[in-house]
């Protein structure tokens, strides 16, 4: 049995799209589940779309999410080079060989001739397929014209009778009538191969056993197989995956403003959480487990559980999963991640580790942190209506009573820490014949000026310190004292 070999073959055209990263993940899991190799190949034949720095983004993304490739441009390997633009001579040799085998022909038609046929098809609402007169030119004559310097392309030759079929691991048997297959260009006049041709040559020469790609390639795969068959090569195992959708009608697309992997990381999503989430886009594990380490995914991944249906990217679900990852960390790990977000948001001399302690169980995305803690530096100018809480059964009068009692009691605290503040504040409700919430809600409101905070009154008072806590409670008392009770 052949060793399983998969490849991630992105084009260096910008940021890492979520759909591309999911393809890389599936390829990685298929290989590693079987103890195989995962390759990285850079497909840069479309030089016009190449973006400076995009190759580095590919390396960095794979490293961030832990998809370590076994061979690639940066680490080498037996089947290199792993950048298509460094393999150009090989493509021409294979194209010439395919012509000799009858699977392709030299085409000397001008772009105007091709465009003329395209417009004729549009006029009669017929799908465009170029009917190339050059395929009838004898090979010797074509070679003579090339020797004289005449420009040409290499175009696939397809016998338009019968049908071609293949078996896909996700969609089963796919059969296509040959008469609808277009004889596409394989090698352009500048010597560069088209994406499809280079893909076939590279996959074969690199020993790729499993080809994973989007289901938009299902209809054109028979054309690729005709080329494999013309060479007498074994076909790879095909795994076509459904698209990642923004909603039921629209694909997830950076061009349409949808987030790339880099965008999500900048927003405070963890690479591990993103990878875990996209594994579940179009693939379902057995059982109810949703949180997986990469090692666990390798162990349980099964091609047969890839869905045929499109997967909708749900940012709310990713946000929930990201929060689960943050809460599963040690406090020290979370604190290290949170520190950069404190730099611009906090200038007060407070215990940052204590801030992290109250944040960790409440934050879902790291970028939420500055807004969640902005009250620590500066008390917002809040509306006194915040003191009214139906569930806590607070009124302005109850709130004022609670704040006055809290101010008096907290003034007496000498050793200010969470335990002493806890003891004092929770000692007040029995004395005042109130419920805990009727004391703690007004105090928390006075301390934060916010309806939602990462911690309760006791935790916030501990972080703010005695003097600042008393000052803010006094402001609350003054606000409430102006109300006509």
In whole angstroms, what separates CA 311 from the centre of its chain? 13
Query: Which of 254, 404, 450, 479 is an active site residue?
Result: 254
Q: Catalytic site residue 254?
A: yes
Tokens of 250: 């629209």
Tokens of 80: 């290199």
- The sign of the dihedral angle between the CA atoms of 130, 131, 136, 137 is negative
Residue 329 has what DSSP assignment?
S
Tokens of 482: 């102006």
At 96, give phi and psi (nearest 5°).
-60, -40
Instruction: State how far the Cα of 404 lies from the Cα of 276, in Å rounded to an integer.
Output: 50
Q: Where are the alpha helices (DSSP H) in 135-282?
A: 139-147, 195-205, 221-231, 261-266, 271-279
- Alpha carbons within 13 A on the beta-carbon side of 350: 30
Residue 243 has what DSSP assignment?
P
In which region does residue 27 sit, left (phi positive, over 0), alpha (psi from -120 to 50) or beta (all else)? Answer: alpha
Angle 237-241-245 from CA coordinates, rounded to 5°? 170
CB 157 within 8 A of CB 105: yes
Instruction: State how far the Cα of 336 lies from the Cα of 191, in Å rounded to an integer.
Output: 51
Residues in a beta bridge with 176: 164
Pairing of β 37-40 and β 104-107: unpaired
Catalytic residue positions, numbered: 254
């Amino acid at each position: 049995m052949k060793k399983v070999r998969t490849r991630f073959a992105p084009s260096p055209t910008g940021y890492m799209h979520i759909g591309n990263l999911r393809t890389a993940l599936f390829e990685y899991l298929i290989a590693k589940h079987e103890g195989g190799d995962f390759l990285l190949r850079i497909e840069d034949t479309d030089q016009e779309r190449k973006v400076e720095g995009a190759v580095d983004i590919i390396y960095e993304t794979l490293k961030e999410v832990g998809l370590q490739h076994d061979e690639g441009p940066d680490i080498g390997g037996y089947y290199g080079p792993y950048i298509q633009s460094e393999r150009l001579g090989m493509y021409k040799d294979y194209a010439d060989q395919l012509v000799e085998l009858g699977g392709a022909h030299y085409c000397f038609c001008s772009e105007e001739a091709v465009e003329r046929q395209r417009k004729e098809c549009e006029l009669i609402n017929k799908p465009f397929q170029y009917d190339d007169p050059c395929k009838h030119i004898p090979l010797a004559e074509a070679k003579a014209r090339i020797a004289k310097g005449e420009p040409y392309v290499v175009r696939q030759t397809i016998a338009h009778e019968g049908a071609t079929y293949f078996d896909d691991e996700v969609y089963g048997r796919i059969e296509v009538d040959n008469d609808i297959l277009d004889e596409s260009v394989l090698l352009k006049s500048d010597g560069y191969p088209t994406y499809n041709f280079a893909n076939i040559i590279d996959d074969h020469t690199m020993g790729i056993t499993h080809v994973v790609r989007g289901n938009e390639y299902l209809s054109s795969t028979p054309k690729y197989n005709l080329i494999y068959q013309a060479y007498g090569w074994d076909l790879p195992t095909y795994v076509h995956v459904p698209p990642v959708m923004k909603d039921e009608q629209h694909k997830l697309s950076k061009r349409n403003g949808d987030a790339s992997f880099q965008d999500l990381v900048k927003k405070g999503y963890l690479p591990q959480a993103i990878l875990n989430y996209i594994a579940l886009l179009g693939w379902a594990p057995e059982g109810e487990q949703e949180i997986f380490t990469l090692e666990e995914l390798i162990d349980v991944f099964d091609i047969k559980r890839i869905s045929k249906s499109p997967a909708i990217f749900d940012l709310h679900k990713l946000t929930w999963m990201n929060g689960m990852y943050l809460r599963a960390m040690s406090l020290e790990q979370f604190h290290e991640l949170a520190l950069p977000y404190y730099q611009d948001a906090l200038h007060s001399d407070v215990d940052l580790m204590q801030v992290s302690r109250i944040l960790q169980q409440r934050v879902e995305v790291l970028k939420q942190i500055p807004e969640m803690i902005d009250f620590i530096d500066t008390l917002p100018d809040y509306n006194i209506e915040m003191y009214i809480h139906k569930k806590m059964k607070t009124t302005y009068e109850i709130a004022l009573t609670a704040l006055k009692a809290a101010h008096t009691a907290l003034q007496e605290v000498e050793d200010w820490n969470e335990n002493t503040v806890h003891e004092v504040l929770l000692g007040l409700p029995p004395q005042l014949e109130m419920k805990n919430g009727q004391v703690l809600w007004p105090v928390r409101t006075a301390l934060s000026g916010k309806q939602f905070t990462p911690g309760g009154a006791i935790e916030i008072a501990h972080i703010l310190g005695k003097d600042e806590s008393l000052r803010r409670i006094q402001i609350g008392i003054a606000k409430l004292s102006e109300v006509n009770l």
